[in-house]
């Protein structure tokens, strides 16, 4: 998956999901690079479900995700050019 923000554009590939105390911890996989860790609280899960249920098309997408073919993300050529830009991507 692609995580895009004002700070950085990050490729995030889920490696593991576990529980640590009051959080669900999602870790990514990178070969030889420091990985990214996401801490998700119960409040985050509830907010995410509310946002998902507010948009029927998004809920339908999640429910049918396992039936879909893997497709390149829209504008993948533009995304690749951004990831190669060392000035705006300090992780390269």
- C-beta of residue 26 within 8 angstroms of C-beta of residue 17: yes
* CA-to-CA separations, 76 to 51, 73, 89, in angstroms, rounded: 26, 5, 16
pLDDT tens per residue, range 11-60: 778 888 999 999 999 988 766 667 788 899 999 999 999 999 899 898 88
Query: Is a pLDDT exceeding 60 seen at residue 1?
Result: yes
Give the C-alpha separation, 83 to 91, whole Å: 9
- C-beta of residue 38 within 8 angstroms of C-beta of residue 26: yes
Residue 86 per-residue DSSP state: T
What value does the CA radius of gyration of the chain take, rounded to a whole number of Å? 16
């Amino acid at each position: 998956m692609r995580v895009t923000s004002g700070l950085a554009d990050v490729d995030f590939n889920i490696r593991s999901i576990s529980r640590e105390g009051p959080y669900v911890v999602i870790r990514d996989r990178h070969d030889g690079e420091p990985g990214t860790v996401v801490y998700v609280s119960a409040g985050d899960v509830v907010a995410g479900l509310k946002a998902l249920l507010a948009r029927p098309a998004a809920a339908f997408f999640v429910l049918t995700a396992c039936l879909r073919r893997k497709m390149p993300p829209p504008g993948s050529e533009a995304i690749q050019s951004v990831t190669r830009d060392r000035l705006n991507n300090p992780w390269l």
